[in-house]
A and B are shown apart, each in its own frame.
Chain A
Amino acid sequence: MFHQAKWNEPLIIERSGNGKRGHTPARPSDIERKIVGADAWNGVPKALLRNGPPPLPEVSEPEVVRHYTRLSQENFAVDLGIYPLGSCTMKYNPKVSEAIAQNPKLEKIHPEQDESTVQGILALMHRLDQFLAEITGMSRMSLQPVAGAAGEYLGALIMRAYHRSKGELGERREMIIPDSAHGTNPASAAMAGFNVVVVPSNDDGMVDLGALRKVVGPRTAGLMITNPNTLGIFEKNVLEIAKIVHDAGGLLYYDGANFNAILGKVRPGDMGFDIVHLNLHKTFATPHGGGGPGAGPVGVRKDLEKFLPVPLVSFDGKKYFFDYDAPDSVGKVTAFHGNIGVLVRAYAYILSLGPDGLKAVAETAVLNTNYVLSKILEQSKFELPFSRKRKHEFVLSAKRINEQTGVRALDIGKRMLDFGLHSPTVYFPQIVDEAMMVEAPETESIRDLDELVEAFLKAAKEAETDPERLRSSPHNTSVGRIDEVKASHPKTLTLKWNNPKTRGQTP
Chain B
Amino acid sequence: MRIPMATFDHPFLPNAGEAIRKMMLEAIGVASIEELYSDIPVQVRTNRSLKVDWLPSEQEVKSHVDRVLGENKSASDMPIFLGAGIYNHYLPAAVKSILSRTEFQTSYTPYQAEISQGLLQSLFEFQSMIADLTQMDAVNSSLYDGSTALGEAARMACRATGRKKILVPHGMHPSKFSVLENYTEPVGIRLETFLFDKETGGLDSTDLQSKVDRDTAAVYCEVPSFFGVLDPEVTNVPSISHQKGALSIVGFDPVSLGGLKPPGEYGADVVIAEGQSISTEMNFGGPALGMIGCRGKNLIRQLPGRLIGMTTTLDGRERAFSMVLQTREQHIRRERATSNICTNEALFAIGAAAYLSLLGPQGLRELFESILVKTNYAIKMLGEIPGVMAPRFASQHYQEFAVSFKGAKGTLARLNKSLLSHGVHGGKSLVKDFPELGETALFCVTEVHSTESIDRLRLLIEKLREA
Contacts and interface: CB of A to CB of B under 8 A. Distances in A.
A351 B313 contact: no
A69 to B, nearest CB: 7
Interface stretch (A100-108, A211-219, A401-409, A459-467): A100-108
B92 interface: yes
Nearest to A58: B360
A296 B133 CA distance: 32
A494 B358 contact: no
A113 B231 CA distance: 28
Contact of A54 (B118, B147, B258, B301): B258
A486 B317 CA distance: 13
Interface in A408-438: 413-414, 417, 422-423, 425, 428
A380 interface: no
B146 interface: yes
B61 A352 contact: yes
Interface string B298-340: 0011000011111111111010111111110111111111011
Contacts of A428: 331
Report which residue of B106, B135, B344, B450 has the largest number of chain A beta carbons within 10 angstroms of its beta carbon: B106
Interface in A21-54: 21-29, 31-33, 35-36, 39-41, 43-51, 53-54
A140 B316 CA distance: 54
17 contacts: A70-B118, A71-B117, A96-B61, A114-B420, A147-B144, A189-B335, A236-B41, A285-B12, A289-B107, A291-B347, A340-B285, A355-B49, A357-B8, A483-B312, A487-B322, A487-B324, A488-B325
Interface size bracket, A side = 35 or more
A361 B7 CA distance: 11
A39 B54 CA distance: 59
B45 A265 contact: yes
A337 B285 contact: yes
Nearest to B340: A187
Contact of B72 (A121, A152, A443, A495): A121
A442 B360 CA distance: 44
A112 B82 contact: yes
A132 B15 CA distance: 25
B334 A21 contact: no
A292 B64 CA distance: 27
Contact of A375 (B27, B286, B301): B27
A-B CB proximity, top 8 nearest: A354-B54, A336-B285, A111-B285, A289-B347, A120-B71, A492-B309, A75-B118, A487-B311
Nearest to B139: A494
A226 interface: no
Contacts of A344: 65, 69
A234 interface: yes
A446 B360 contact: no
B282 A110 contact: yes
B364 to A, nearest CB: 5
A113 B440 CA distance: 16
B316 A120 contact: no
A150 B313 CA distance: 35
Contacts of B110: 290-291
A171 B343 CA distance: 32
Interface in B11-61: 11-16, 20-21, 23-25, 27-30, 33, 36-37, 39-41, 43-46, 49-56, 58, 61
Given A64-B354, A109-B75, A492-B310, A288 B106 contact: yes
A9 B46 contact: no
A364 interface: yes
Nearest to B345: A292
A371 B24 contact: yes
A397 to B, nearest CB: 19
Contact of B347 (A31, A85, A105, A293): A293
B411 interface: no
Interface string A351-363: 1111111111101
